[in-house]
Structure 1
Amino acid sequence: MLDLLIGGLLRGGMYVLMAMGLSLVFGVMKIPNFAHGEFYMIGAYLAFYSIAVWSLPIPLVFIVAAVGGFIIGGIIEKTVFYPLRKRSKKDWVLNSFLVTAGISFILINQAQATLGVEYKGVKEILAGALKIGTMSLSYDRIIGFFIAMTTLAFFWLFLKRTKSGNAIWAVSEDETGALLMGIDLNKIQTLTFSLSCMLASIAGAALLSIIPAYPTMGVQPLMKSWLVVILVGLGNIEATIIGGFAVGLIETYATYNFGASWQDVISLTLIIMVLILKPSGLFGKRQKV
């Protein structure tokens, strides 16, 4: 049981990091971002080149991934979503969904054309393993979990303790009220999208030694992120932490009891039941879109 609990928490930590960014963008901007997984891919590629080509120290590897995801996210927001907001007053959710699907397609094909389709990974970031009871945990998994939790802690402090973070909360709660209080919506929305992409990029970098970089690697993390977000409720940023660990534990126990091929079946069955019984999610409220 202890082995399963630890495995579930390690898995859930990455789900939280990915889903937090997805929930943030929907909560603030009402964008169902189906290109979120491609920023996970971008982070993995940046980490690979930082380690294998540029030979950067390990701490700098994650900084490069974070900054790269943040900048690319900001560029995409300013060049795509900012003009779309000015012209798309109705059907915003549908239009933004179609745009993110297009961005996903472009990023995947661009990666295939410029970086190739072969896997690019590293054998290990830090050699060795830690023994906990009968379980042996590689230091790479521990580092990945530590990076995820440290990132979430700093991100949470940013949201709660800074003026920009409070502005993000205000916009997610009431956009009109935030505008009346003098908050610049365009700046906050650009910042929000950039931060969301940064979180996904860090997740991709943290798991490089476990999941190598390749162009379509973002599909699975995207699906897991949506499982978490739907489970707790769209735009419910705080509950994402609970949902991420819950999905990680559910999948770990499902794999142990029924086999790896059943983990997605059980997770999806759970989500279907939640949607039938409580369409707004376990902790969600009806969204205004």
Structure 2
Amino acid sequence: MRYLRVGPAGAERPVAAVDGRYYDLSSVTGDITGAFLAAGGVTSVAGLPDVDIAGERLGAPVARPGVVLCIGQNYAAHAAESGAAPPEVPIMFYKAPNTVVGAYDDVLIPRGAVRVDWEVELGVVIGRTARYLDSPADAAAHIAGYVVSNDVSERDFQIERSGGQWSKGKSCETFNPLGPWLVTPDEVGDPGKLRLRSRVNGEPRQDSSTADMIFGVDHLIWHLSQYTVLEPGDLINTGTPEGVALSGRFPYLADGDVVEVEIDGLGSQRSVVRNAA
């Protein structure tokens, strides 16, 4: 199953996509929320009305998460290009939930920003409360689905003005395009074997696989559950591969740039970069 939220910002309606057709879920749920996912979502679209979503805006495929948890330097090659040794335990930081926008919404360059960067990431949405899981093997039962996430970052805010914590450079308005769909695990297969790519103005930037992750999805969920309670609807960004502007190989983003990110089986995004002013 693939879940979408369709319509103007703040007035999205829930939709399911099955075999290329779209079905209105409004009679089942008011939105794609943590409560809806915790209840199991929908297993059948029989009897639900078809809808035509052509030309409509796609919002983030899950309503505003309670929390956005991010993992830093979780790809071996990205850690190397950042000049850091691979972490021995997952690096966790927070991103403001109000950064989450739709897959085709604009990304805004904040006031005073000079080093805005892209980061294609595999996003994981929690479907059941995860608290003190006994082992990584328990994690799969707590996953509602997977999603394309762009962990947009302002590196000057993140590094030079951080005060020792990365969230300043991660929490600016529009800094987490999400979607287009939330894809349930049965349609994804092995999340450790997905190809991720990004492009800026049509030019390749990142091209890697989740196989390069230092800590896999199950390990991350188990690990995080030892320190915080993961609740239905929460989003985990699992890290980005090499090929970002921080590497020094590419320019940072500027007004008018077009950023495209995609993950096999999960869809693609296209965001236009605009000055916030």
TM-score, structure 2 as length reference: 0.28
Query: Which is richer in strand?
Result: 2
Q: Based on CA coordinates, which of the two structures has the bigger radius of gyration? A: 1
